Amino acid sequence: MIGISYNTHISRLIWLLTSLIFVADLLLPRHYDVVFAYSVAHFMAVFFREKNNVILLAVVTSSLTLIGVAFKPHDAPYEEMLLERVSALVVFWAAAFFVLRFIMLREEEERQESRFKALFEYATSGILMTNRKGSIVLANPAVESLFGYNSGEMLGITVESLIPTRFSRTHESNRQQYHKDPQPRNMGSGLNLKGLRKDGSEFPVEVSLSPFRNKEGEFVVAFLVDNTSRRNYEQSILKQKHELATLSEALQELNEGLENKVADRTRELEKAKNVLSSALDNERELGELKSRFLSMASHEFRTPLTSVLSSAGLVHQYAERKDIDNIKKHAERIKNAVNGLNSILTEFLSLGRLEEGRISLNREDVVVQTCMDDILEGLEDLLKPGQKFEHIHTGSDSASIDCTLTKNILINLVSNAIKYSPEGVPIVIESHLQDHKIKISVRDQGIGIPASEQKHMFDRFFRASNASNSTQGTGLGLYIVQRYVEMMGGTVGFESAVEEGSVFWVEFDA
């Protein structure tokens, strides 16, 4: 209410000033060229909330400038007096353009701030921001919960309050050193970092730092994750290594008569060491996958969630006005966003079942044409305007395949073809069955895949550079397709060219 009242007073002041300048223009002699004073009103227009008001002010001041010529005493030719005011009109419209640009930048900044706030509030990882003095200026709900603070309680306290006392002085020195050369990095690489909860308990924590600068000064954004599970796992590995070392020492103390047994035991221990090394490699790979997943999820979940939040607010407003058309429009946006999220979660669940080995091969005799048509019929709702399926089957009719896995493969390939193809073009699906081998190909006329990136297309979480920003996706679909095809003893491949489209094919026993 205060902001609205303030803007109303400013608006009234601008129009009052415009009126006074007009009156002064009419009353003062010609050599008092007061029309340039309208520029003051134009630059005060930065306080307008609506761009239309800025344009209206430019039109009004331009009109008043010309009207002033008509009503002032004509002590010079009319054309000369008009020509004298052309420069003033140019200044008015230049000022209006500047103010419009300022208002547009302000609106864009407010939109970006709204998006950042939504991501900040709903992030599952702890996020906090500190200034150069180490005082916390922002803390999201996740980090408040992690350290046991109530909402808003962390604001204003120093970051050293979240660190055990024995480390706080060293941390303060390290923090000051970081500000001399701020760069995105992990904090305390190789160290066992500890966090201090409000109740005094300690817990292992993993911290990533990123510098941030705006008009208010320099800040540091910290991303925090509870590292308890990982630390427990590492301690378990160290304990096993210690037990193995103890066992090795005991074997070395045996007499020479047990030399052959000692050699056998040593070989067994070497094998166990390799297993442990492999486990550590897997742990590192999981860490990398986790980072890639968080990066992908922060983008792929943020966009539909922002759309849902925005449309939900608009639906509420339109409901009060009983504007059914707009309610339906934004309800459809919410539906599409939720469907997108559902597709992402389905891929995550499929990946989880594959990694856990909970998917088995179950062959059955099917008519290929019928099976393919049923699958394509279920995908027709995904087609863009003007798109259609063209299915061509050649060879034998019946095959022994896992219809469920075949359906999942086809859904992934066809939905990709739909997403990356323009409207009004067909999606061509070809199936060929011969000599107990079935080959299925899906051809599109979409954006294609850059040649330099094609070798990574079946990697987990990988998306081509020309698709990652324009279309929602997780980068898991083709990886899952490859795993399904391998389960059925087959192969998968593709050919693609940028702006010419792609053809993906799978071949397996039938």
Q: Any idea what the CATH number is for the domain that residue 496 is in? A: 3.30.565.10
The answer, yes or no, to whether residue 55 has pLDDT greater than 60, is: yes
Is residue 105 located within the same domain as residue 13?
yes
Is 50 exceeded by the pLDDT of residue 421?
yes
pLDDT of residue 281: 53
Q: Provide the CB-side half-sphere exposure for 465 (13 A, CA).
A: 6
287: pLDDT confidence band, cut at 50, 70 and 90?
Answer: very low
Task: Check if the beta carbon of residue 100 is closer than 8 Å to that of residue 55.
Answer: yes
Specify the higher pLDDT residue, 214 or 278. 214
In whole angstroms, what is the distance from residue 298 CA to residue 119 CA?
8
465 & 505 share domain: yes
504 in the same domain as 368: yes
pLDDT confidence tier of residue 294, bands split at 50, 70 and 90 = very low
Q: What is the pLDDT confidence band of residue 503, given thresholds at 50, 70 and 90?
A: very high
Place of tokens 């205060």: 2
Give yes or no: residues 95 and 12 share one domain: yes
Report yes or no: 137 and 129 within 8 Å, Cβ to Cβ: yes
- One domain, residues 454 and 487: yes
pLDDT value, residue 450: 92
The pLDDT of residue 2 is: 39
Structural domains counted in the chain: 5
Q: How confident is the model at residue 441 (pLDDT cuts 50, 70, 90)?
A: very high
User: Are residues 381 and 416 both part of a single domain?
Assistant: yes
Question: Tell me, what's the pLDDT at 279?
Answer: 45
Q: What is the mean pLDDT of the chain?
A: 78
* Beta strands 426-434 and 388-395, pairing class: parallel
Is the domain of 465 the same as that of 454?
yes
256 with 200, same domain: the answer is no
Q: What is the pLDDT of residue 85?
A: 76
The pLDDT score that the predictor gives to residue 353 is 65
State phi, psi for 10 to the nearest 5 degrees.
Answer: -60, -45
The predicted structure's pLDDT at residue 280: 52
pLDDT over threshold 90, residue 309: no
* pLDDT greater than 80 at residue 417: yes
* 3-state secondary structure (DSSP) of residue 297: helix
What local confidence, expressed as pLDDT, does residue 298 receive?
46
Of 210, 226, 242, the domain-final residue: 226
Distance from C-alpha of 435 to C-alpha of 433, rounded to nearest angstrom: 7
Domain extent, residue 187, equals 125-226
Scanning 356-402, the segments in alpha helix (DSSP H) are 368-378
Identify which has the larger pLDDT, 489 or 39. 489
**Is the confidence at residue 290, as pLDDT, over 60?**
no
Q: Range with the lowest mean pLDDT among 65-69, 311-315, 354-358, 421-425?
A: 354-358
Average pLDDT over every residue of 387-392? 93
pTM for the model: 0.38
pLDDT of res. 299: 45
Read off the pLDDT of residues 402-412 as tens digits, 9 standing for 90 and up.
888 888 899 88
Pair (17, 83) in one structural domain: yes
Distance (Å, whole) CA 69 – CA 33 = 11
88, 119, 150 - which closes a domain: 119
Average pLDDT over residues 431-457: 92
Cα dihedral sign for 229, 231, 232, 238? Answer: positive
Among 62-76, 242-256, 347-361, 415-429, where is mean pLDDT lowest? 347-361
* d(C-alpha 346, C-alpha 350), whole Å: 6
Q: Please, which pLDDT band fits residue 88 given cuts at 50, 70 and 90? A: confident
Do 456 and 499 belong to one domain?
Answer: yes
3-class secondary structure per residue, 57-98? HHHHHHHHHHHHHHHCCCCCCHHHHHHHCHHHHHHHHHHHHH
* CA distances for 65 relative to 15, 45, 59, 464, angstroms: 15, 18, 10, 57
Going by the DSSP 8-state scheme, the letter that residue 149 receives in this structure is: P
Rounded average pLDDT over 149-158 = 90
The residue out of 300, 316, 340 marking a domain boundary is 300
Of the given ranges (64-68, 237-241, 335-339), which has the lowest mean pLDDT?
A: 335-339
Copy the structure tokens of residue 485: 């095809």
State which H helix or E strand residue 113 sits in. helix 86-122
388 with 490, same domain: the answer is yes
Residue pair 365/397 in contact by the 8 Å Cβ criterion: no
* 115 and 8 together in one domain: yes
Nearest to 487 by CA among 341, 360, 347, 307: 360
Q: What is the CATH number of the domain that holds 175?
A: 3.30.450.20
